[in-house]
A and B are shown apart, each in its own frame.
Chain A
């Protein structure tokens, strides 16, 4: 026996299996929210050390989805970010999300600098992605695509900043549903068969307050020397369950209550599979079962957070019942609204169907620090912005942006693009207003439901926000004094992207029964008016001799016989 086992083990020793060049990790973060709702964020990360570029034909795929790999190599994509969101992230009640996204679909792509015709490639790419994700991305065309100059920098390696190779588009009207979730799940190595993805059942995911799914592809460094690059595919899914709808008003959640499933195993292909529960807020009132001793601390969004960790690759996590159903219970805290350091809102002011005004409000709730934000606004051409009416005011005073990039629209060709770098004073509201006029569209350009209104995509506010840790001046945490005098750059600020709500604007809409009326009227006019006129004009009129009387006729006959000219 022993010998046989030795023999079997030998080849493994002699020929060590080649180090797999790809790696898959999955994790789920659960954050109980201030409002009593609960936030679950899934992340699935596939790393692959390969090179799609330079004519390198990659044909053997293991963990990385082939469809996306082919997209990357065919369209020379450097970076691709796509998100589908149903609902609006409520910053005032939920705080900042781990991965922000605007309502509807958002797509931004950096192409390699070897691409010659970026617009054509972009067009083709959106059509292909539309097929892959079963979404209406094919509605992305030049009228809703912009090239932001500063707001969207590459997130991966490479310092290409020529924004000619960047394309950004949003579809605020896109509805996200099961048909988008299924293709997204198919990209996972385990599909929805095993691992955390078992929880992703659409009947529960879409019984929620907020649902967002995204795919991010970018090149990252393989090691810290960055000699070789590898491709990272991050699939994320964020969902918020409502306290009143799904939770029956009780601050008591379990995996089963949220997803109507429990966990029994990790994805066998995953090198790491973990669940993090954010227990930072009032840990003494927090109940977690089964309990875990694993704790982890991390800096998340400028705040030091503590997490309980469940490692699904360890069998004892599942306990004796072989299934993990996490139960989270916390004491009620009466729900005032939060004051996130940065948040924004937007609305249309005015009434009537001729003009209007877009107001964008940006709140800086930091008590003493001002910070700059980059505001990106992309407005469709049918709202004609009067850019001379652009005002930026904070605390009643004019606030001059230090950088403005404005690209005017062209009717039916491209949208307005407005980017501004604005300094937000501490504890203030900055209001950006710009007036617009509503264009009258051609009658074929209206959507089938013109009285619903037309959408204007979210504004994007990107900023480095001073972190709450840096605000903590009297440093109650146990830190040596010598470490805490000068603020550490890494901790002092963090990147935040805030999306405002999209706008629904009514345009002057004709009465669409009008063409029918016009056709009827025209036909009547033609038939009655022109018809009779034509009849009169073309008819030849002849004077008809009245037939002479009988006596006259007889007289004429007699006169003829006599040779006298007739009467």
Chain B
């Protein structure tokens, strides 16, 4: 580790950092280009612009225009086939200039070394995730979200790994590792292991989910601490949104993580040089890799940085939940197949045993149309809603979504009665059989891609699916069913997440947070291609409506 050993370099780094205390963010593109060039990098810029479907009130942006600056350190005697990325977001308002300074300091130090075998790309991305999305789309020449970007001029081949650096806090006491990416994707566990190993070696406090590791596994408090950490990861993963700039790399099969400097209110303070040494060590390790990181797990949950729960342990829990659905379906299948007890009056039996295809198909179609409306209408009708009601665009979108959702509760069972007259006893059984199998397939697929999301949905939907029949007490069951619906699950999750983070909120604040979470979810879908919103709107919600329909079967 030579970064500390050379006093001149250390002084240069400190000078740079103090100079950067003046707010440089708001992207001083020319300055960055010149500074990177002076450090011997090949520097390129990329302009991008994006108009959001509706204004983002959290980050106060609507028409986004920005410039990414990146400098490539060409590895000596390497044929530009492989690259590593170190990025630091630079957003106006939020001050991440320490990270940018550290990035430039590292670039200067790395440039003078001979041992690099992979090109290293130092990227300063504007407008955090939007800039990163533009850069990645430009680098891989794809366009999944309809963004405008200028094509990239310089490339370094296939990117093997990436780290994103965020030092937004003035006082950094520990380094926090963020793994959760877009759609709940996680990087290879070896990247987390690498980070942990280097933190141990250098003696930096390292955390995950902002929580320090405890050694007292046997005690109740230690155990609950670990469970809390793991539940935070489950909640974050289930949200399907990228929790750092690294999250967008994972789509391109690039192992990536965000390293955040956080203030965890300990005595121990970490300085920039130590973080530099940590990054230097990690990059040298990644540089030495012959293959992409692939040896370790891609599916895991972490109760602490040094422990993980592998897919082999958590999947059975989900499997046991899903098997309830299958057993229930089997039960219904058997009930449908056994001939009803022979009575004198045979005609009625024949009528009962042949429910029309229409009686099953109608609720299916109607509930899916409702789902489609939930997916399309909020964005389509925002202008109309803004004209007629005194709300902002964002509120309009969220409130339209809630309105469509609630309207859907009233819609299906009424129209169903109009269309096919009286429902039969066999009819709801067939419908429930279909709905159970539908839900089982849906949850199974979801859990394979994003375990946490699948598990949370299963926790609420499986009991609902299991108990619902037209013969249970209506009002009470309707109440329970609404409580277990996806929207309420989201509401509870918001409160639960705040609890886990030890930042409990009042009900009103929680409600506001809930509204903003919905708008963020919709934005994530349109900006980065997150699949949670369409999954809930187009599949999970219609499936839940089927059970709602069964409850009100006449």
Contacts and interface: CB of A to CB of B under 8 A. Distances in A.
B112 A451 contact: no
Given A88-B80, A349-B140, A359-B141, A245 B114 contact: yes
A389 to B, nearest CB: 14
Instruction: Pick the most buried of A347, A348, A349, A455: most chain B CB atoms within 10 A of its CB.
Output: A347
B251 A172 contact: no
Interface string B271-307: 0000000000000000000111010000000000000
Interface string B86-130: 000000000000000000000000011110000000000000000
A353 B112 CA distance: 36
Contact of A90 (B40, B74, B290): B74
Given A245-B113, A348-B158, A349-B140, A501 B81 contact: yes
Interface stretch (A107-115, A201-209, A275-283, A304-312): A201-209
Interface in A336-358: 337, 345, 347-353, 357
A27 interface: no
A210 B77 contact: yes
A506 B160 CA distance: 11
A350 B141 contact: yes
Interface in B66-95: 74, 76-82
B474 interface: no
A318 to B, nearest CB: 32
Contacts of A451: 291-292, 294
Interface in A161-214: 172, 206-211
B141 A349 contact: yes
A92 interface: yes
A505 B157 CA distance: 9
Contacts, number: 92
B77 to A, nearest CB: 4
A101 to B, nearest CB: 11
A86 B81 CA distance: 12
A335 B158 CA distance: 27
Q: How large is the interface on A (under 10, 10 to 19, 20 to 34, 35 or more residues)?
A: 35 or more
Interface residues of B, number: 28
B142 interface: yes
Nearest to B295: A451
B155 interface: yes
Contacts of B290: 449, 452
A208 B141 CA distance: 32
A504 B140 CA distance: 13
Interface of A is mostly: loop
A93 interface: yes
B253 A351 contact: yes
Nearest to A103: B79
- Centre residue among B112, B141, B252 by max chain A CB count within 10 A: B141
Given A244-B40, A347-B141, A506-B158, A455 B81 contact: yes
B310 interface: no
Contacts of A350: 140-142
B42 interface: yes
Interface string A352-383: 11000101000000000000000000000000
A172 B112 CA distance: 27
Contact of A207 (B74, B114, B140, B253): B114
Contacts of A211: 77
Contacts of A249: 40, 112
B76 A504 contact: no
A351 B140 contact: yes
Given A337-B42, A451-B292, A501 B80 contact: yes
A503 B114 contact: no
A509 B292 CA distance: 12
Contacts of B76: 87, 208-210, 242, 245
A104 B79 contact: yes
Interface string A74-102: 00000000000011101011000000000
Contacts of B82: 504
A453 B118 CA distance: 14
A243 interface: yes
A502 interface: yes
Interface in B15-72: 37, 40, 42
Nearest to A87: B77
Given A243-B40, A245-B112, A453-B158, A351 B252 contact: yes
A350 B294 CA distance: 20
A210 B141 CA distance: 29
A338 to B, nearest CB: 12
Contacts of B252: 351
Interface string A393-437: 000000000000000000000000000000000000000000000
Contacts of A335: 37
15 contacts: A86-B77, A210-B77, A245-B114, A334-B37, A350-B140, A351-B252, A449-B290, A450-B291, A453-B292, A455-B81, A501-B157, A502-B79, A502-B80, A504-B158, A509-B294
User: Nearest 3 pairs between A and B by C-beta?
Assistant: A103-B79, A349-B141, A451-B291
Interface of A: 86-88, 90, 92-93, 103-104, 172, 206-211, 242-245, 249, 334-335, 337, 345, 347-353, 357, 359, 449-453, 455, 501-506, 509
